[in-house]
Structures are given as C-alpha cells and as structure tokens.
Amino acid sequence: MYQSIAPAYRNYQMTIVDIFEDEKANKAVVWIDAKAETDVGPYVNEKMVVFYFDDAGKVSKTYEFIDSAASAAFYAKLHPSVAK
C-alpha cells in the first residue's frame, strides 16, 4: 500500500485464498483478498503476488498484481481530486 494513503485505511487485513506452486520453475503465486475500513466505506480488493526463488530457496524477486479497476474506482472515492 502506498505510504501517502496508508493512514486512510484502518484494520487492513489480507487473507490468503489460494497458493499455486511451480517447483520446477522455482516460483509460487499467492492469491489474496484484501479489505480495510475507511472514512468513505469499506475497501475490498484482490491481489496476486508472484514469488521467484533462487536455488537456495530464498525469494529473489516478486511481482504484485491488483484489481486495477476496483482500485481506481475506490481511489477516486477516497481522493476526489484524482477522479478529475
């Protein structure tokens, strides 16, 4: 979450929905439901995080994907000046 808007979110929670592993490719994908409370109503979103592992089993890089349509609609409510 962006630090500039983090204070607007209260009780931020992430719940793992599923984990997809590919041992041959040394990567895993975690599907997450995220939710929080804000002054403009509840925040609800989904995200996927891809973890790549090196040969020692340590995370070497990550990519995070979110539901951009849901994020844009909610961010416009949270910050009306962004919607213009």
| Residue 82 scores a pLDDT above 60 | no
Question: Of 1-5, 11-15, 44-48, which range is least confident?
Answer: 1-5
Mean pLDDT of 58-63: 97
Cβ(66)–Cβ(83) below 8 Å: no
